[in-house]
Homo-oligomer: A and B are copies of this chain.
Amino acid sequence: MKRFNITNEPINNQDVIDQVIHHNAGAVSVFIGTVREMTGDKQTKFLHYEAYVPMAEKQLQKIGEEILVKWPKAITAISHRIGTLQISDVAVTIAVSTPHRQDAFDASRYAIERIKEIVPIWKKEHYTDGEEWVGNQKGTEAYPAGHPEGVEK
Interface residues of A, Cβ cutoff 8 Å to B: 13-14, 17, 21-38, 87-88, 97, 99, 101, 104-105, 108-109, 112
Given contacts A31-B27, A32-B27, contact A17 B22 (CB under 8 A): no
- For the complex formed, measure the closest distance between the CB of A12 and the CB atoms of chain B, giving whole angstroms: 8
Q: Are B26 and A36 in contact (CB under 8 A)?
A: yes
Q: Are A34 and B28 in contact (CB under 8 A)?
A: yes
Given contacts A88-B23, A105-B105, contact A32 B17 (CB under 8 A): yes
Q: Which residues of B contact A17 (CB under 8 A)?
A: 13, 32
Closest to A87 in B: B23
Closest to A18 in B: B13
Which of B32, B36, B88, B112 is in CB contact (< 8 Å) with A30? B32
- For the complex formed, measure the closest distance between the CB of A38 and the CB atoms of chain B, giving whole angstroms: 6
- For the complex formed, measure the closest distance between the CB of A131 and the CB atoms of chain B, giving whole angstroms: 18
Q: Are A34 and B26 in contact (CB under 8 A)?
A: yes
Q: Are A25 and B88 in contact (CB under 8 A)?
A: yes
Tell me the bound Cα distance from A99 to B40 in angstroms. 11
Which of B31, B36, B105 is in CB contact (< 8 Å) with A24? B36
- For the complex formed, measure the closest distance between the CB of A83 and the CB atoms of chain B, giving whole angstroms: 18
Tell me the bound Cα distance from A87 to B13 in angstroms. 21
Closest to A37 in B: B23
Q: Are B30 and A26 in contact (CB under 8 A)?
A: no
